[in-house]
Amino acid sequence: MKPAPFAYVRAQSVEHALDVLAEHGDDALVLAGGQSLVPMLNLRLVQPAVVLDINALRGLAAIDTDPASGALRIGTLVRHREIASHQTVAARAPLLHDAAPWIAHPAVRHRGTLGGSLALADPAAEWPACAVALDATIRLASRDGGERSVPASAFFQGLYQSERRADELLVGCDFAPPGDDAVFSFRELARRHGDYAAVGLALSARGRPGAWTAMRVVFFGVGDTPVQASACAAALIAGVDFPEAQARLEGELDPRPDLWFSAQAKRHLAVHLLREAWRDLGNPMAGE
Amino acid sequence: MQDIELELNGQRVRLAVSRREHLADALRQRCGLTGTHLGCEHGVCGACTVRVDGAAVRGCLMLAVQADGARVRTIEGEGDDPVMRALQDAFVERNALQCGYCTPGFLLTAAELIALDPDPSRESIRAYLSGNLCRCTGYQAIVDAVELAARRLREAPSTDGRAR
């Protein structure tokens, strides 16, 4: 249960970090909060030549506003605890505020970071699904390519696979201002509070009951990436009855079973979460 | 090896640590602070909980080299703290430990909860302690003890906090 030997580099600046990544590529792993990386090191699931610690890069730990777009800009090193308690996040990205307490346990939230979670691309994690539901923009930087932006919906490619190249550092994530009529719901089911989700749901919508104009219904813990239930969302916008939307959802989800839940159980729980989220949005349910 | 300097239980210390060594190992093996226990070493059990810059963290999920410049407190450094004293007394009274392996982690986590919320509900105690595993007690007695300590601290805020 001890890591294999590695070279430890404490990045002194973003440029320094990008140099290290340009030089070592896949052989270097970035240490942000370490709440997934260090267990993987301890278990020797990964044995990198270089561990690049970016925790000294305080410029990547800020929550501020992008002057050009007005987007809420969260630096890669912002920790889960700060997202949970930050007033600006609560006002401008309430979905993140609602989701943060669901991430693991307090001691893990004190260290774990937004950027680390996004870069890891764990399909059962909360932040990737929230980023997709909010149509967030993930910012990547490299020494040779400068900075580029990738929509969250295109970022997550597969199980622990993302659009990030080995020489790129995920520097932050931008969340566009929500519209005046934007509403959100975050729901999760786990066997024990703080465990990885059996199934979770991050939902964002615009409009009002009976007149929805846009909706993103994003499940996590059910596939290799966050899963957008697009047919279900389209049905809900079109104003179909809930059982019809439920049927669409059941048709488009193909959950991967885990140690405790079969695919069938996960599909059942996903429908349950959708029903709760639909209520959260203020929609009347038949028979109530 | 790499030299690090940290404030450990109020004292400045300088240590030479291996780069791949986690903080809990450094505390136990280089500083002799064996109150920090190692259970799973992958972040599941919470036995290695310590406070770093004021926040409870997993000692096994932080490299020792990352503690350079940090303030670290272990269970050994909390003996004079009135909240810790009240928690320890309540744990003894309510039989909230049997083998004691998980206890330092529970105490540090519970102390943090009481600092954040002096009047926690049983439900919030359970939620806050959900990242600490105990294989002996079944948790009921631990929740009882935290509830009792919090109540005593609320009722006697002007004393030194010692449970009476």
pLDDT of residue A192: 85
Under CATH, to which class is A59-175 assigned? alpha beta
The stretches in chain A having pLDDT less than 50 are none
Domain covering A182-280 in this structure, CATH number: 3.30.390.50
Tell me the CATH number of domain A7-53, given options 3.40.190.10, 3.40.50.1950, 3.30.43.10, 3.30.70.580: 3.30.43.10
Q: Decide if pLDDT at B164 tops 70.
A: no
Check residue B83 and give its pLDDT. 97
The CATH class, in words, for B2-75 is alpha beta
Residues of chain A with C-beta less than 8 angstroms from the C-beta of B128: 106
Percent of chain B at pLDDT above 70? Answer: 95
Look at residue B160 in the predicted model and tell me its pLDDT.
Answer: 53
Residue B163's pLDDT is: 46
State the pLDDT at residue B60.
98
Q: Which CATH class is domain B79-155?
A: mainly alpha
Domain ranges of chain A: 7-53, 59-175, 182-280
pLDDT digits (tens, 9 = 90+) for B25-69: 999 999 999 999 999 999 999 999 999 999 999 999 999 999 999
- Provide mean pLDDT across the span B140-158: 92
Q: Three-state SS string across chain A, please?
A: CCCCCCEEEECCCHHHHHHHHHHHHHHEEEECCCCCHHHHHHCCCCCCCEEEECCCCHHHCCEEECCCCCCEEEECCCEHHHHHHCHHHHHHCHHHHHHHHHCCCHHHHCCCEHHHHHHHCCCCCHHHHHHHHCCCEEEEEECCCEEEEEEHHHHEEECCEECCCCCCEEEEEEECCCCCCEEEEEEEECCCCCCCCCEEEEEEEEEECCEEEEEEEEEECCCCCCEECHHHHHHHHHCCCHHHHHHHHHHHCCCCCCCCCCHHHHHHHHHHHHHHHHHHCCCCCCCC
pLDDT for A144-181, tens place per residue?
999 999 999 999 999 999 999 999 999 999 999 999 99
The shortest CB-CB distance from A108 to any of B58, B63, B112 is to B58
Nearest Cα of chain B lies from the Cα of A4 at a distance, in angstroms, of: 7
Domains of chain B by residue range: 2-75, 79-155
Cβ-based burial of B78 (10 A; exposed 0-12, middle 13-18, buried ≥19): buried
Same fold: B2-75 with B79-155: no
Selected for mutation to probe chain A from B61, B132, B139 (highest A CB count within 10 Å) is: B61
- Chain B partners within 8 Å of A61 (Cβ): none
Residue B156 pLDDT: 81
Tell me, yes or no, if B71 comes closer than 8 A to chain A by beta carbon. Answer: no
Give the C-alpha separation, A161 to A173, whole Å: 17
For residue B162, pLDDT over 70 is answered with no
- Inform me whether the pLDDT recorded for B159 exceeds 70: no
Alpha carbon distance A89, A85 (integer Å): 8
The reply to whether domains A59-175 and A182-280 share a CATH topology is no
Any A CB within 8 A of B60 CB: yes
